[in-house]
Amino acid sequence: MHKEETLPQPLVRDGQSRDFIRAIIAEDRKKNKHGGRVITRFPPEPNGFLHIGHAKSICLNFGVALENDGVCHLRFDDTNPCKEEIAYVESIQRDVKWLGFDWGSNLFFASDYFDQLYEYAIKLIKIGKAYVCSLTADEIREYRGTLTEPGKNSPYRERSVEENLDLFSRMRAGEFPEGTHVLRAKIDMSSGNINMRDPVLYRILHSSHHRTGDKWCIYPMYDYTHPISDAIENITHSLCTLEFEDHRPFYDWLLDTLQTPSHPQQIEFARLNLTYTVMSKRKLLKLVNEGYVSGWDDPRMLTISGLRRRGYTPNSLRSFCETIGLAKRESRVEMGVLENAVRDDLNDTAPRAMAVLRPLKIVITNYPQEQEEELVIDNHPKIPEMGQRTVPFCREIYIEQDDFMENPPKKFFRLAPGREVRLRAAYLITCDSIIRDEKTGKIVELHCTYDPASRGGSSPDGRKVKGTLHWVSSRHAINAEVRLYDRLFMVENPEADKEKNFIAHLNPESLLPLTNCKLEQSLLNADDTNRFQFERLGYFCLDSLESAPGRLVFNRTVTLRDSWEKIEKKS
Ligand code: ATP
Ligand code: MG
């Protein structure tokens, strides 16, 4: 386990429940419902990587279990062999663990229940609550009616139990092509709730399954599988997102009709939506497949693996999920809330370092050519336990190009001809002259002089020096590529216009790679579990995938708010 992965602590606040779900559970426990036990589950379909919305569901399900001495199951809802893959199963487990949660021995797959699900289907047929329907998919849709009009009964609805049993077993035996028959529940075609109009329970799919191979050629539908899986696992509270509210009557009908030994309680909450992004796996898959991003773990993607690569910590995602809370109504959370969560976390945990992203060379003409010295700098301005490091200084250094202006406006407190600034923890320097490329006239370097009496950056005679710049010794600097990111989409809600493809809103400038960056020496030992604050520039981490011996690639996790101001006052 990496050192960053402090385990989530149960959150109990003065006996008060944080949200309506925790209130329901507290009440249930008080009444000794389910024998006072709490068993939840997180049920991903392995058809994509997990995203930040899933993190909300994971934090809720595992969090509630932790707080109530319960357990949370990880159950793969793998009922659609056409879209699912082992690689997704593995990435999901990695992501849940990384977030800091542990399912212990409670790892399950809906496909492990295929035999039981089949037996339950036989039971439904035998009690006259399910039938084999031979309408085509289009006809089923047509017969289903609309929100305002009732549906009508399938002509196959009154098949005898014997005929249904025979047809269903032949469906299983592979006698029929796809689309010729389905098994449907027999409920009520005139129900106001479309989900109760004889929903499909099984369809024929001549596809291999990543776990059951070719054993099955009929596969249960999600709405049929999910309640039964919950019941088999003795789940007490089945927490899901609001779109399942209309499915709850079927959830309850099914378990009541089958008289399963356990009947979990389904409770819905609003899913997480964020501004400037899309959240559905289908859309994320499109971004990946069509090459708009480099993969599921592209640092611009709001997948858990993308956020991890970007430098987000498990702690920051958990605290984000806590901040947004739970509601019964859909809303869109500001991306800034997520960015603040990681900023707050890294502000307290990330050591500081200096890096120059767009270097401008400075020659300190009165500093001896051969001289070098080691300056001692705190790793964190407020946390002495984080220690100190030494940073080398010599005659030639780099500063940021935009920390110099030839003709500065009045309020520019950085370097300019004739002006004096402080080099962070080093010396005061004054700019004497600009050296240009003879042909292009472009600035190639600045010549400055330093005040030897200002070592450490203090003013020897109390003269005021407002600006403080970060810098890197040119002789000791290490080269790196640094990638700056902006939001992947240019508009708050890329899905707002149903007519327009969300792809049209992609931000063409969401990735800015800078290839000639100069980093302080100490960053040579960084690994991808470390995060740093590059002073004045933001929080950064090593890119786990693209860095290699001799090639350093850093990602900017997030920009700084304005923590520089404080450091200036201090020095
Ligand atoms: P998507 O809509 O992104 O394709 P999904 O609901 O199909 O997601 P599942 O793998 O079925 O993905 O989701 C697993 C669990 O995560 C479900 O219980 C689902 O309700 C929950 N979940 C998915 N998206 C969100 C979200 N945006 N906010 C909160 N919970 C979510
Ligand atoms: Mg789903």
Q: Return the CATH number at 528.
A: 2.40.240.10
pLDDT, tens digit (0-9, with 9 covering 90-100), for 412-465:
999 999 999 999 999 999 999 999 999 999 999 999 999 999 999 999 999 999
Could you give phi then psi for residue 153, rounded to 5 degrees? Answer: -65, 140
Give the mean model confidence (pLDDT) for residues 493-513. Answer: 92
Own/partner long-range contacts of 276-280 (Cβ < 8 Å, ≥24 apart): 276/335, 276/487, 276/488, 276/489, 276/490, 276/491, 276/492, 276/494, 277/302, 277/335, 277/487, 277/488, 277/489, 277/494, 278/489, 278/494, 278/495, 278/502, 279/51, 279/52, 279/53
In a domain, 158, yes or no: yes
Residue nearest atom 18 of ligand 1, based on CA coordinates: 240
In a domain, 315, yes or no: no
Query: Is the C-beta atom of 280 inside 6 A of ligand 1?
Result: yes
What amino acid positions are annotated as catalytic residues? 45, 271, 281
SS3 state of residue 64: helix
Query: Is the C-beta atom of 53 inside 6 A of ligand 1?
Result: yes
Closest atom of ligand 1 to 271 CA is 28
Tokens (6 digits) for 225: 């599988």
pLDDT, tens digit (0-9, with 9 covering 90-100), for 195-239:
999 999 999 999 999 999 999 999 999 999 999 999 999 999 999
Residue 3 confidence (pLDDT): 41
pLDDT, tens digit (0-9, with 9 covering 90-100), for 15-47:
567 899 999 999 999 999 999 999 999 999 999
Last-in-domain residue among 162, 194, 216: 216
| 435: DSSP letter | E
Give the mean model confidence (pLDDT) for residues 115-138. Answer: 98
Tokens (6 digits) for 36: 């006072």
Quick one: CA dihedral 544, 545, 546, 549, positive or negative? positive
In a domain, 490, yes or no: yes
Q: What's the 44 CA to ligand 2 centre distance in angstroms? A: 7
Q: What's the 346 CA to ligand 1 centre distance in angstroms? A: 28
User: Domain of 156: which CATH number?
Assistant: 3.90.800.10
Query: Is the C-beta atom of 71 inside 6 A of ligand 1?
Result: no
Residue 457 confidence (pLDDT): 93
Using CA atoms, how far apart are residues 340 and 383, in angstroms rounded to an integer? 20
Could you give phi then psi for residue 32, rounded to 5 degrees? Answer: 60, 25
pTM for the whole thing?
0.92
Query: Is the C-beta atom of 484 inside 6 A of ligand 1?
Result: no
SS3 state of residue 232: helix
Q: Are strands 359-364 and 443-450 parallel, antiparallel or unpaired?
A: parallel
Residue among 251, 259, 245, 179 nearest 218 (CA): 179
Last-in-domain residue among 191, 216, 241: 216
Q: Are residues 418 and 562 in the same domain?
A: yes
Give percent above pLDDT 90 in the chain: 91
Ligand 1 site-directed mutation target among 21, 41, 52, 57, most atoms within 8 Å of CB: 57
Single-letter residue type at 60: L
In a domain, 122, yes or no: no
Last-in-domain residue among 216, 242, 274: 216
Q: Kindly give the residue spans of alpha helices, DSSP state H, lying in 102-233.
A: 114-126, 137-144, 161-173, 222-232
Query: Is the C-beta atom of 46 inside 6 A of ligand 1?
Result: no
Q: What's the 135 CA to ligand 2 centre distance in angstroms? A: 26
Q: Which band of pLDDT confidence, cut at 50, 70 and 90, is reported for residue 330?
A: confident
Give the mean model confidence (pLDDT) for residues 158-171. Answer: 98
Tokens (6 digits) for 363: 């020659």
pLDDT, tens digit (0-9, with 9 covering 90-100), for 553-568:
999 999 997 444 444 4
Q: Which band of pLDDT confidence, cut at 50, 70 and 90, is reported for residue 7?
A: low
In a domain, 190, yes or no: yes
Residue 568 confidence (pLDDT): 47
> Cα dist. 369→82, 342, 449 in Å?
68, 43, 13
Nearest bound ligand to the CA of residue 235? 1
In a domain, 200, yes or no: yes
Number of domains in the chain: 2
Residue 566 confidence (pLDDT): 47
Residue 406 confidence (pLDDT): 96
Using CA atoms, how far apart are residues 415 and 405, in angstroms rounded to an integer? 7
Q: What's the 92 CA to ligand 2 centre distance in angstroms? A: 14
In a domain, 191, yes or no: yes
Give the mean model confidence (pLDDT) for residues 383-405. Answer: 97
Query: Is the C-beta atom of 271 inside 6 A of ligand 1?
Result: yes
The boundaries of the domain holding residue 360 are: 352-570
In a domain, 139, yes or no: yes
Q: What's the 281 CA to ligand 2 centre distance in angstroms? A: 9
User: In this model, does residue 329 exceed pLDDT 80?
Assistant: yes
Query: Is the C-beta atom of 37 inside 6 A of ligand 1?
Result: no
